[in-house]
Chains A and B, each alone.
Chain A
Amino acid sequence: MAPLYIISSSCISPQPSFGVEALLNEMISYEGNRLSCIEPDYKQFINPVQIRRMSRALKFGFSAAMDCLQKVNCQPEAIIIGTGTGCLTDTEVFLHSIKDYEETALNATPFIHSTYNQLNGMIALNKKVNSYSVTYVHRAFSFEHCLLDTALLFDENEIETSLVGCFDEMTKEHFDMKMQWGFWKQESIQSESLLLHNSLGSIAGEGSTFFMLSKTKPETECNSILDIATLFQPTVFDLEKEIQYLLAKNNLQLSDIDILLSGDNGDTNTFEANDFVKRFCASSTLLYFKHLCGEYDTATGFAVHLANQILTEQVIPDYLYHPEEINKRSQKPIRHLLIYNNYFGMNQTLVLMVNY
């Protein structure tokens, strides 16, 4: 596949990741198993007429996209967005209003916003981008498929640049239901200690990340996404085969992977696969990210943003190591980084990145 050069990146997350280019020196730890985004002052990105109708997910998604576009001076030739649940608040509001008003005199706005491609349309409308536009809604493949689609468009010589992003929000209603369904840890934990809790479930998160991707390598130092794989309910054997294949396709050895950024979400149900990848990539420095952003369908977007910063700065903050492995600090130069995400076993993905 064509490498995807990262020209700019913006991320709204439970960490103060927005409006700063550098890696954070420290992380914020949350209690209570639900991490919410730190929301910026939206007025600088959204005009007053638009903002009054927008719910949270649209606001932080739109702001992340606008910020990402402001950093570069060009129009994207495609807008490709991934989301697992879209504007969940709007979906819930509309469900409630159907019940509360007994199917009469309903406001259309939450219905309109519950359609998954709303953010695509809104960005296109605002920036007057007449282009290819698609929304992927396949759970924890959603963001990865945006990257794959962009790579295909680059290979087809259709476009030179693409705005690729993701957004997902967590609402109280959804959190409470998924709590009962065993998605989240039953005991209330501090997010920084996520990996120390040997129990079922994870912690909930949310966020939005956008990237401007280019087909052409910029003249300055930069990073790119080299390859992506998405695996549906893979066995450990499938995983091993896929990693080998990914490395072979890119003429790499296992020892070339300097960092493994693991999406281990602390759920003991996925221990086997997470442990396998960790042991398989034993020569790589092992880092984690779900304790920063929580678990959600498009958390890989957060991971790619973080990876991009690590590759650029060649620095690894202490909070990215497993709390018990902090003595394994690495000072080596970082060239190749592999993200492995595991969303409750069913969707597992690999993203291979490189620094030039």
Chain B
Amino acid sequence: MPERVMVSGLGIYTALGKGVQTNHQQLSLQLHGLSSLDMLETLHAKSFPYGEIKETTSDLIQSAQLPSQQGFNRTSALAILALQEAYEQAGLLPNNACRTALLNATSVGGMCEIEKHYFDMLNNPSAYKYLAETIDCADSTQRLATAFGIKHFLTTISTACSSSANAIMLGARMIKAKQADIAVCGGTDALTRFTINGFNALKNIDKNYCSPFDANRNGLNLGEGAAYLILESESRCLQRKATPLAFISGYDNFNEAFHPTAPNPAGEGAYQVMQRALQRANLQTSNIDYINAHGTATLTNDESEGNAMKRLFHNLPAFSSTKCYTGHTLAAAGAVEAVFSINAIQQQCVYANLHFKEAMPETGLIPQTVFEKNIPIQHVMSNSFAFGGNNASLIFSKV
């Protein structure tokens, strides 16, 4: 029997604010962080609500207090700020002697800065040499590694909207296999014109606040953010007297191979991945007390996920999507929602699904619509589904 994989630190930065406590507070007050754009120039700045962090990129970089700011972009700055919190909570110092694995996720990496200068870069690349290293997904990971002195292992995962859920899964596997003492897992994505226009071309952004699982839902809202989890074995946690916040009891990654961008409306892939995660956790559906759903509020996701939950759970526990607070933070979403799921365990609460009015006719399911506390939460499931049928499901449990 392998040791349990404990979560000993959390860090988060979303449109709800900086820090685990602030995020929980806003969620418990049922206050979302969506608004039109102030920090990013695009034709669509006022057309849709976004989960934008109201700090300029240079202020973010400033507050990260880096020795050198050369080439830092929004994606990396958000990541560093979130990871600083996670290190602090876990009682870890940068440049420590642990064999640390950094498993980072991003969907567009340095695009936030590249897209601003791309055409000037083509005409005069030499003026933009400072951006040369930031053009891909590995850049933010390598900057995190350098800032926190991580050398043992570092990688970047990009499976669209399930990226950081997969990073957490890999972290748990590496800890179990004793390939690392500490696994730092999570993801970061800044809002970009690139993704806004991409999702707009797919015609699945709602002009209004998104309403997950509602009959009249009309698409998602995009957001930005970063979130990280510190994972380690139970014995290491005990040994260094760290306080575990939860443990990872189950996980799975499953490709449903149905369509390039859309899920199977019947929810076959979502069903499979949730079931397999439960099996791995050795839990019954009745053990799950809360599901933090993927719940993007697109027509197809919510129908598919709803059908899958309905089929798998005879008595569906409380479920909600928290994307109506933060927007869909893409590659960071899995980690952002993992933090919320662990908060639900810590605070013994469930978060409310905002803007829900009417159940989807396909499922008739009603999500949790009010914040509730003082309820026993032992096991929480967190779903992340993505383009290309790339589904992931994680289960966090009370220590």
Specify whether A and B are partners.
yes
Interface residue ranges, A against B (CB under 8 Å) = 79, 84-86, 94-95, 98-99, 102-104, 106-108, 111-112, 114-118, 120-122, 124-125, 127-139, 141, 145, 149, 152, 155-156, 173, 176-183, 230-233, 297, 346
CB atoms of B390 and A84 under 8 A apart: no
Complexed CA–CA distance, A129 and B125 (Å): 42
Q: How large is the interface on B (under 10, 10 to 19, 20 to 34, 35 or more residues)?
A: 35 or more
B42 at the interface (CB under 8 A from A): yes
- Name the B residues within 8 Å of A155 (CB-CB): 177
- Name the B residues within 8 Å of A176 (CB-CB): 122, 125
CB atoms of A115 and B160 under 8 A apart: yes
Complexed CA–CA distance, A180 and B123 (Å): 11
A to B CB contacts below 8 Å, 30 in the list: A84-B136, A94-B198, A98-B193, A103-B197, A106-B198, A108-B198, A111-B201, A112-B261, A114-B198, A115-B158, A116-B137, A118-B387, A121-B255, A121-B257, A125-B389, A128-B257, A130-B254, A130-B269, A134-B170, A136-B155, A136-B156, A137-B109, A141-B155, A155-B177, A156-B176, A177-B125, A180-B129, A181-B132, A232-B154, A346-B142
CB atoms of A139 and B202 under 8 A apart: no
Other than the given A131-B255, A139-B136, 16 more pairs (CB < 8 A) read A98-B197, A102-B43, A112-B198, A114-B194, A116-B159, A120-B390, A124-B255, A124-B257, A125-B260, A132-B254, A149-B170, A176-B122, A180-B125, A180-B129, A182-B129, A231-B151
Complexed CA–CA distance, A261 and B198 (Å): 42
CB atoms of B132 and A178 under 8 A apart: yes
Interface residue ranges, B against A (CB under 8 Å) = 42-44, 106-107, 109, 115, 118-119, 121-122, 125-126, 129, 132, 135-138, 141-142, 145, 151, 153-160, 166, 170, 173-174, 176-177, 179, 193-194, 197-198, 200-202, 253-261, 269, 272, 386-390
Contacts A95-B118, A346-B142; A130 near B197 (Cβ below 8 A) = no
- Name the A residues within 8 Å of B193 (CB-CB): 98, 103
CB atoms of A152 and B177 under 8 A apart: yes
Q: A117's contact among B122, B201, B388, by CB below 8 Å, is which? A: B388
Complexed CA–CA distance, A120 and B173 (Å): 21
Complexed CA–CA distance, A79 and B390 (Å): 11
CB atoms of A124 and B388 under 8 A apart: yes
**CB-based closest 7 A-B pairs:** A121-B388, A111-B198, A180-B125, A108-B201, A139-B138, A133-B255, A116-B158
Complexed CA–CA distance, A180 and B132 (Å): 10
Main secondary structure of the interface of A (DSSP, over half): mixed
Identity of the chain A residue whose Cβ is nearest the Cβ of B169 in the assembled complex: A134
Whole-angstrom distance between the Cβ of A161 and the nearest chain B Cβ: 15
Contacts A84-B138, A95-B194; A131 near B387 (Cβ below 8 A) = no
- Name the A residues within 8 Å of B44 (CB-CB): 103
CB atoms of A94 and B194 under 8 A apart: yes
Complexed CA–CA distance, A141 and B174 (Å): 17
CB atoms of B126 and A118 under 8 A apart: no
Whole-angstrom distance between the Cβ of A201 and the nearest chain B Cβ: 13
Complexed CA–CA distance, A135 and B145 (Å): 20
CB atoms of A120 and B159 under 8 A apart: yes
Whole-angstrom distance between the Cβ of B384 and the nearest chain A Cβ: 13
Complexed CA–CA distance, A127 and B255 (Å): 12
CB atoms of A138 and B155 under 8 A apart: yes
Whole-angstrom distance between the Cβ of A55 and the nearest chain B Cβ: 14
- Name the B residues within 8 Å of A114 (CB-CB): 194, 198
CB atoms of B197 and A99 under 8 A apart: no
CB atoms of B159 and A117 under 8 A apart: yes
Complexed CA–CA distance, A125 and B389 (Å): 9
Whole-angstrom distance between the Cβ of B306 and the nearest chain A Cβ: 21
- Name the A residues within 8 Å of B179 (CB-CB): 152
Contacts A133-B390, A138-B154, A232-B151; A122 near B260 (Cβ below 8 A) = yes
Identity of the chain B residue whose Cβ is nearest the Cβ of A140 in the assembled complex: B138
- Name the B residues within 8 Å of A182 (CB-CB): 129
Complexed CA–CA distance, A233 and B133 (Å): 14
Q: Which of B119, B125, B151, B159 has the most CB of A within 10 A?
A: B159
Complexed CA–CA distance, A180 and B130 (Å): 12
